[in-house]
Amino acid sequence: MRTAKEKSFVSCILYLHNDGSDGKDFFARVCRVMDDHFEKYEMICVNDGCTDDTISQIKDFMKEDGDSHVVHVVNLSYYQGVETAMNAGRDLAVGDFVFEFDSCLMDFDESAIMEVYYRSLEGYDIVAAAPMHYVSLTSRLFYFVYNADNPYRGKIRQERFRIISRRAINRVNQLNTYVPYRKVLYANCGLRMDTIVYDNKTGMVKSKAKRNRQERNNRSDLAADAIIIFTDLLERLSMMLSIVFGLIMLFTLGYIIVSLFSETKPVEGWASTMLLMSIGFGMLFMVQTLIFKYLSVILNMMFKKQRYVIEGVEKLNQ
């Protein structure tokens, strides 16, 4: 039974975009957990172009609560999306551990916040909390495609929030100066990670239906970027098409040879046209495969700068 407050200094980054009272309630609940369990902590609220009273409600709560919390509000100049906003918050955070709350949807029990923290103390640099139910079909499809073709060990899924050690943040910053998709880089940084799955069936299950079209487009672009950068899917697909058209070319060539010695002649020009088309498409996809391979090498150099990735170093003697 843990009674004394934790001495680790933690930072909590909360993404806000027109959340209204939901943002204030979420903020208050996270503050309550931090007050109960940590001696020192900071709250970083990232205002991603809010046009409603989200920030004013949080300020009102601070006045009512006596301004007993260390709170920073990062006001972005305009709406820039959750990934860019959370990067801005992470750059400001100074905690030994950093909580990232990507939304104000709290379909988990407050105890899950400390559960991921205690799990991180067992030697995990990244620990996420993931819902068991109500994952959209498009999200499931993306995670299936990504995990199936990901050559690295890091597997991802929909997450509600996560905790990251300072070492993991430093490792990710070494990998790339700009993080296009935090979750993917966390999963592939080489450090130990774990996911705690919670049952969200009895919690608040309403979705963020107010997510605007721009945010959905941003998510789609991030998903495409992640598949292109961190998987070999396009290269494999291009190679498969090259093989298919190569086989068609061989079949057509064989058919032409057989027809030369056959009494039944094909329609004049058909065989040569098919042969030309199969050769053309085969060469096209072969060149495309080489281009994808070349781009893959460049991406590896740009986004995975480390020549090797280690999980940790053990000292066997004192």
What's the whole-number average pLDDT of the chain?
79
Whole-number pLDDT of residue 208? 46
40 or 238: whose pLDDT is higher?
40
**For position 30, what pLDDT does the model report?**
95
Question: Residues with Cβ < 8 Å from 27, sequence gap 6 or more?
Answer: 14, 43, 45, 58, 61, 104
pLDDT at 144: 83
* pLDDT > 70? residue 295: no
Higher per-residue confidence, 45 vs 229:
45
Whole-angstrom Cα distance, residue 175 to residue 189? Answer: 8
Segment 123-150 shows an average pLDDT of 85
Is the pLDDT assigned to residue 4 strictly greater than 50? yes
* pLDDT-based confidence at residue 288 (cuts at 50, 70, 90): confident
Q: What is the pLDDT of residues 188-211, one digit of tens each?
A: 788 899 999 998 876 554 444 445
Percent of the chain at pLDDT above 70? 72
Burial track 81-100 (b if 16+ CB lie within 10 A, e otherwise): bbbbbbbbbbeebebebbbb
CA 272 – CA 248 distance, rounded (Å): 13
DSSP annotation of 6 reads B
1: helix, coil or strand? coil
Compare 149 and 36 and report the one with higher pLDDT.
Answer: 36
Is pLDDT of 317 > 60? Answer: no
User: Among the listed ranges 98-102, 113-117, 219-223, 312-316, which one has the minimum average pLDDT value?
Assistant: 312-316
C-alpha 309: how far from its chain's center? 19
pLDDT at 147 over 70: yes
Percent of the chain past pLDDT 90, that is, above it, reads 33
pLDDT higher than threshold 80 for residue 186: yes
Confidence of residue 298 (pLDDT cuts 50, 70, 90): low
CA atoms of 169 and 189, how far apart (whole Å): 9
What distance lies between CA 316 and its chain's CA centroid? 36
Q: Does the pLDDT at position 2 exceed 70?
A: no
- Lookup: tokens for 37: 């369990």
DSSP SS3 for 286: helix
At residue 33's C-alpha, the angle toward residues 28 and 34, to 5°, is 95
Poorest-confidence range of 22-36, 46-60, 88-102, 225-239? 225-239
Q: How far apart are CA 20 and CA 13, in angstroms?
A: 17
The number of CA neighbours under 13 Å toward the Cβ of 220 is 7
Residue indicated by tokens 């009895």: 202
What distance in Å separates the CA atoms of residue 94 and residue 169, rounded to the nearest whole number? 11
Residue 294, pLDDT above cutoff 70: no
Query: Does the pLDDT value for residue 313 go beyond 70?
Result: no
What is d(CA 295, CA 173) in angstroms, rounded to the nearest whole number? 22
Rounded to whole angstroms, the Cα distance separating 119 from 124 reads: 7
